[in-house]
Amino acid sequence: MENVQRDLIQERTERTRWFQHDRFGMFIHWGLYAIPARGEWVRSFEKITVEDYQPYFDQFDPDRYDPKAWAKAAKDAGMQYAVLTAKHHDGFCLFDSKLTDYKATNTKAGRDLVAEFLEAFRAEGIKVGLYYSIIDWHHEDYPAYGDRHHPMRNNEAYKRDPETFHRYLDYMHGQVRELLTNYGKLDIMWFDFSYDNMASETWKATELMTMIRSLQPHILIDNRLEGSGEQGGSLYTSNPSVYAGDFASPEQIIPPEGVTDENGNPVPWEACITLNNNWGYAAADRSYKTPTTVIRKLVECVSKNGNMLLNVGPTAKGEIPQESLDILAEVGQWIKQNGASIYGCGKADFPKPEWGRYTQRGNLLYAHVFEESIGPVNLVGLAGKVKKARLLADGSELFLNRPWSAALFEEDAFVSFARPEHLTYPLPDKK
Ligand code: FHN
């Protein structure tokens, strides 16, 4: 077991190298649920019948869908990869699957929305991933659950016969094969989600992962064929017989200490986070995070060796909401000046300071100063270890032999204290 585990960890380290460098990605939740515009679980929470949900299929006509504009917004925000829902829990496929009629090419859209997304984002040099829901509220052979997490099965056609579940698995594995065969090189397969006994071999995960690895050996797979959505997918096991995937996927939370496996080994992880309180478009949800909050969440993830996958929920017309675009644009402005403290960075060799966070790459330490300091910014632990300091934003020198105070910062740095400032400390050559 030891050697197998070590080899698996080495393989995963190689496979995830780009992922652990890029740190920042775009999550896109889009589908029929953008029409009711009350979030992607609307069918479940409002117990909408198949018949009452059908008009959304009949009406779906995203005539303003412009994936090139989406890709430019992601690029300008400093996002290095992007993951689009190819199918969410309602079973609607944004791609031209040969295994179902419940797909975008059969709506007024008449387009393969996934194919266009992949082409546009690749053209911007952004790595691409697809989210695929293993839960399916539309497929007649998917079991029904009436508890708070799962809809009362409104699909009268559902046969309620456990014996037919294998037909759903054939469908699910078949669609994954379609995505990995017909759409070119994918960088991430993002499954969602396991729960109760619906996990691992219930999905025939070993068979599924083996197929995936045979078709696209380089691809990264999240941990939700095994990990639960409820715990945000932050459970992780490196047990080679249990396919945990390549990265843990905590949701709407940033783990206090990052993520480790059951042996305490740090593992790649990615926190997926919404801009408001919904993944799918929710017109009434105005609870958008500020750009500063987004920046600080990103810095926190990187300071703990993690990534952040930041979500947008496009409208039924195919547009990313303006509020989301405005936040992304401001985050992008900050990253243009401070991206060196994010890309290729991770946990620092120094403990978290009380005024903010450190990230580090090689012998470069980045201080993210969040808290307004009245007295000197306390550099305990750095004295004598740092040769010089520069403000990342403009390269200006910061003197270390004087008591640090806000006055040392550029006036705008102090004024914009609500946003992290980045200082570069070339550390003495590591022994
Ligand atoms: O139920 C889904 C939810 O709609 C959304 O897709 C999130 C994103 O990670 N995952 C599940 C909840 O854990």
Q: What is the pLDDT of residues 164-212, one digit of tens each?
A: 889 999 999 999 999 999 999 999 999 998 887 788 888 999 899 999 9
- Give the C-alpha separation, 79 to 25, whole Å: 5
Contacts of residue 84, defined as CB under 8 A and 6 or more positions apart, other chains included, come to: 28, 30, 94, 114, 117, 128, 129, 130, 131
Stated pTM of the model: 0.90
Report which of 412, 372, 370, 409 is spatially closest to residue 390, judged by C-alpha positions. 409
Residue 233 Cα: closest atom of ligand 1: 13
- Give the C-alpha separation, 220 to 247, whole Å: 8
Tokens describing residue 98: 């040969």
Tokens describing residue 406: 């806000």
Residue with CA closest to ligand 1 atom 3: 279
| C-beta of 272 in contact with ligand 1 (< 6 A) | yes
**CA–CA distance from 182 to each of 116, 127, 160, 194, 370 (Å)?**
13, 17, 32, 26, 46
**CA–CA distance from 19 to each of 22, 76, 213 (Å)?**
5, 19, 17
Predicted complex ipTM exceeds 0.90? yes
End-to-end, the C-alpha distance of the chain in Å comes to 34
- The pLDDT of residue 372 is above 80: no
Backbone angles phi, psi at 173, to 5 degrees: -60, -35
- Give the C-alpha separation, 282 to 37, whole Å: 4
Distance 76 CA to ligand 1 centre (A): 26
Q: List pLDDT tens digits, range 232-286.
A: 455 566 565 555 689 999 999 999 999 988 788 888 999 999 999 999 999 999 9
Count Cα neighbours of 74 within 13 Å in the Cβ-side half-sphere: 32
| C-beta of 229 in contact with ligand 1 (< 6 A) | yes
